Structure 1
Amino acid sequence: MLNNIRSKQAILIVAILLLVGFLFSRDVKGLVKPKDESGKMPTTAQPTVTQLTIEEVSSTAKNLISNVTAKDISALESKYNAASSVERIENAKQLAQKWDDLEQAAPSAMYLEVVAKGEPTLNNWVLAGTRFLKAFDNTQDSLVQPVMLQKANASFTSALAIDSTNNDAKTGLGITIVNGMGAPMQGIAMLMDVVKKDPKNLKANMNLGMFAIKSGQFDKAIVRFNDIISNIKASPDAYFFLATAYENLGKNNEAIDAYLNSKKLAANPTLSNFIDKKVTELKNKR
C-alpha cells in the first residue's frame, strides 16, 4: 500500500513540474499524503527557516540570467543601495519589475517586500505575498522554499491586518497554512470561507481541488474541478488535475478524456508529450 502511494506521488510530482511556468496552478509538493487513523489530514509542523538576504537571493538568481543582464541588475542594485529612503522604494519597485520580467520570482518578491514595508498598503502586501508564493512554487531549494513560504505568510497576514475581508489575502494566507505554516484544516477552512463568499473565486477553488488530491480525497477533487470547468474557467490545469483525480480512482476513460482536453487547451509540446505517454499507458490498462 505504501509503495503504491509513493508511486502515485512520484507520478504526480513529475506531472506537476511539467506544468510549472505556463499553467495557473500551484506546484503541490507530495500531492498524495496518507491520512491518519482518524481519517484526518496530519498536522504539519511549521518549517525551520534560515534567513536569507536580498543580496544572497539576487546573487543566486544572477547565475540563471545572461552576464549582460546581470550587470544591468548590479548597476540598479548599486543605485538602490546608495539611495535615500524615499528613492530606495522607487528603486526597489524597478528591481522587482526587472526581476519579474526575467521570471525570477524570489528576488522580485524580496524587493516587493521592501516596497510594502516602505509603503504598507493592502495592494503592496498582497503583491509581495503573491510573488513569494510564486517563488515558493518555482524553487526546489530546501533552504529557499521555507523562507519564501514564511514571507508569503507574513505578507498576507499584514494585508489582512489592513483589510480582514480581502479575498486575495485570505486565499494566499490559506495556501501558506496548508503548505506548512499551520494546521492544514485551518487553511482549508479559510479557503472555504472565501469560496462561500465568492463562489467563482478561481484561485481558492483551484487550491481546494488540489488539496483534495493532496489528502487523497479524489471524489471531492472531481466534483471541485468539474465545477471549475463548467462554471468558472475551463483551463488546461483544471482538466489536468481532474484527470489526475480520475486516474487515482481507476476511472481511466474519464482520465483520458480530461488529459486530452488539458493537452488541447495548453498546446504545450512538453505537456503534450507527457500526456501522450499517459494516455497510451491508460489505454493499455483497459
Structure 2
Amino acid sequence: MLNSVRSKQVIIITTMVVLVGFLFTRDVKGLIKPKEESKQMPAGQKTAVESNNTVSFSIEDASAIGRDFISSAIAKEILALESTYKNASGKAQLEQAKQLAQKWDDVEQAIPSAMYLEVVAKNEPVLTNWLAAGTRFLKGFDNTADSLVRPIMLQKANASFMEAMALDSTNTEAKTGLGVTIVNGMGAPMEGIMMLREVVEKDPKNLKANMNLGVFAIKSGQFDKAITRFKNIIETIKATPEAYFYLGTAYESLGKNTEAIDAYSTSKKLAASPTISNFIDKKVAELKNKR
C-alpha cells in the first residue's frame, strides 16, 4: 500500500516537473499570436501529430508548429525565407538554413530552429554546430507538451550530442547534453546520471548538469537529495526561478508547505512571467489551505 501511494506521488511530481519545464520556456518575446489572429493550417499540410508518423517529421512540420506561436507578420516573413531556402542549393541553401535557424531562434521557436541547425551540422559537421543543434533540440523537447513531438526532439538531441561526443569525448557540454537525453528516456537512466555526475566532478558549477541531477532526484522520489542539490545551485551557482520552483516542489513533496511557499514565491518574483505567476498563485493558495 505504501509503495502504491509513493508511486502515485512520484507520477504526480513527474507530471509537474514536465509542466514546469514547459511553463518556464514559453516566453516568446512579445510575439505570441493573439487568438483572433490564429489561422487554420494550409490544406494538405500535416504536422507529425496529425500524421502520427514521427519518422517523417520534417522542416515543414516544424515550421507549421512554430508559426502557431508567432505573429502573422513574422510568419509571412519566415515563409518567404523558407521559400527561398527550398529553391536554393549548395552553399546558398546552407547559408539560408543558417539565417532561418537564427530567425526562428529570435522568436524563441526552438523546434524549427533546431531542424535548420541540424541541416547546418550535417553539411558542416564541426563540434560547435552539433552542440548548437543538440542544445536547440533539447530546448524544443522542453518547450512542447505534445506527446508525439517530444520524443522526436529527444531522439534528435541524442543523435546530435552523440555526433558532438564523437568529435570531442571530453567536451562537458556534449556530455551533459547526452546525459540529459539518456536520463529522459534515451537509455538506462543511471548511465545518464553517471555522465552528469562526471561533468559535475569536473565542473562543480555546471548549471545544466546540476539542474538535471536535481530534477531527476525529484522524478525518482529522492526529495531530500533534490533539496540539497537545488539549495546548492541557488547558493553557489545561480539563483534561477527554475531552481527555486523545483526546490519548492521538493519541499511540497515532503509536506514542508511553509518552506515550499517561500521557494515558490521567490520563483515567482524572479520569473516575472504572468503565466508562471498565475500557476504559482494557485499552487500557493492550495498549500495555504492545507496548513
TM-score (normalised: structure 2): 0.83
Q: Give the 3 Å change call, closer, same or farther, for CA 251–126 of structure 1 in structure 2.
A: same
User: 3-state SS of the aligned residue for 1:230?
Assistant: helix
Comparing 159-168 with 53-62, which one deviates more in the overlay? 53-62
Amino acid in the other structure paired with 2:102: Q
Q: Give the 3 Å change call, closer, same or farther, for CA 240–91 of structure 1 in structure 2.
A: same
Whole-Å separation in 2 of the counterparts to 1:221 and 1:62: 37
Q: Give the 3 Å change call, closer, same or farther, for CA 139–110 of structure 1 in structure 2.
A: same
Structure 2 partner of 1:255: 260
Q: Which whole-Å deviations, capped at 9, do the CAs of 1:176-215 have from their partners, x for residues lacking one?
A: 1111111111111100000000000001000100010011
* Contact 2:21–2:143 under 8 Å retained in 1: no
Which residue, out of 33, 38, 51, partners 2:56? Answer: 51
Q: State the structure with bigger RCO (CA 8 A, min sep 6), 1 or 2.
A: 1
Structure 2 partner of 1:82: 87
* Contact 1:177–1:187 under 8 Å retained in 2: yes
Structure 1 partner of 2:108: 103
Whole-Å separation in 1 of the counterparts to 2:287 and 2:147: 34
* Contact 1:19–1:271 under 8 Å retained in 2: yes
* Contact 1:105–1:134 under 8 Å retained in 2: yes
Whole-Å separation in 2 of the counterparts to 1:206 and 1:142: 23
Whole-Å separation in 2 of the counterparts to 1:12 and 1:133: 15
Matched, 1:91 2:96: yes
Which residue, out of 253, 270, 284, partners 1:279? Answer: 284
* Contact 2:97–2:116 under 8 Å retained in 1: yes
Comparing 113-122 with 194-203, which one deviates more in the overlay? 113-122
* Contact 1:50–1:143 under 8 Å retained in 2: no
Matched, 1:235 2:240: yes
> For the aligned residues, what is the CA RMSD?
2.0
Whole-Å separation in 2 of the counterparts to 1:131 and 1:10: 22
Whole-Å separation in 2 of the counterparts to 1:197 and 1:10: 31
Q: Give the 3 Å change call, closer, same or farther, for CA 105–251 of structure 1 in structure 2.
A: same
Shift of 1:6: 4.6
* Contact 2:182–2:191 under 8 Å retained in 1: yes
Q: Give the 3 Å change call, closer, same or farther, for CA 117–265 of structure 1 in structure 2.
A: same
Which residue, out of 154, 175, 178, partners 1:173? Answer: 178
Shift of 1:8: 4.3
Q: Which whole-Å deviations, capped at 9, do the CAs of 1:232-273 have from their partners, x for residues lacking one?
A: 111111111111101101112221221222122222233233
Q: Give the 3 Å change call, closer, same or farther, for CA 235–61 of structure 1 in structure 2.
A: closer
Shift of 1:59: 3.0
Q: Which whole-Å deviations, capped at 9, do the CAs of 1:32-87 have from their partners, x for residues lacking one?
A: xxxxxxxxxxxxxxxx9523121222233334433433332222122222223111
**Unaligned regions of 5+ residues in structure 1, if any?**
23-47
Amino acid in the other structure paired with 1:127: A
**Unaligned regions of 5+ residues in structure 2, if any?**
28-52
Structure 1 partner of 2:145: 140
Whole-Å separation in 1 of the counterparts to 2:135 and 2:20: 23
Matched, 1:128 2:133: yes
* Contact 2:22–2:143 under 8 Å retained in 1: no
- Percent identity between the aligned chains? 66
TM-score (normalised: structure 1): 0.84
Whole-Å separation in 2 of the counterparts to 1:98 and 1:111: 10
Number of residue-to-residue matches in the alignment = 261
The structure 1 segments of at least 4 consecutive aligned residues displaced by more than 6 Å after TM superposition are none
Whole-Å separation in 2 of the counterparts to 1:95 and 1:11: 33
